[in-house]
């Protein structure tokens, strides 16, 4: 039992130290800047290459793009449909409430979700 408590205490301490380190990185611009420069620097896990010479030095193949390449093999994006006129939902609902209030829930049940949320947004 003592070992378990000791393990929990060590985990809590390590988590607290890690949290403090993250907090320091995110709230201190100098520390964040240094961390970012090291992370993307030549010794970091994601080095940033400045030009063609750097890319070739690191073994990345660079080729000129053929300006005459025909891109017809890619499908065209779907055409945007024209927006449809919304039905007079609230007028229909108002008529139903006047004529048959116990069944007005059926009209609400058929509504699109954004109709009710827009009405609530306007009411606020």
SS (H, E, C) 15-46: HHHHHHHHHHHHHCHHHHHHHHHHHHCCCCCC
Which pLDDT value is given to residue 54? Answer: 62
The CA–CA distances, whole Å, from 110 to 26, 88, 101, 106, 115 equal 48, 13, 16, 6, 10
**Per mean pLDDT, which range of 24-28, 43-47, 69-73, 81-85 is the poorest?**
81-85
pLDDT of residue 17: 93
More confident residue, 18 or 62: 18
Tens digit of pLDDT for each residue in 87-124? 677 777 788 888 888 888 787 777 777 777 776 655 54
pTM: 0.33
Question: Above 80 in pLDDT, residue 36?
Answer: yes
């Amino acid at each position: 039992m003592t070992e378990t408590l000791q393990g929990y205490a060590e985990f809590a301490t390590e988590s607290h130290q890690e949290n403090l380190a993250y907090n320091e990185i995110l709230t201190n611009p100098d520390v964040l800047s240094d961390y970012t420069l090291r992370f993307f620097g030549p010794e970091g896990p994601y080095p940033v290459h400045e030009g063609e010479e750097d890319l070739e030095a690191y073994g990345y193949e660079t080729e000129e793009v053929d300006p005459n390449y025909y891109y017809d093999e890619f499908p065209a994006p779907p055409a945007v449909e024209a927006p449809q006129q919304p039905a007079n939902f609230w007028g229909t609902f108002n008529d139903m409430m006047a004529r048959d209030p116990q069944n007005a829930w059926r009209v609400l049940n058929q509504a699109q979700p954004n109709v009710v949320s827009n009405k609530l947004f306007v009411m606020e």
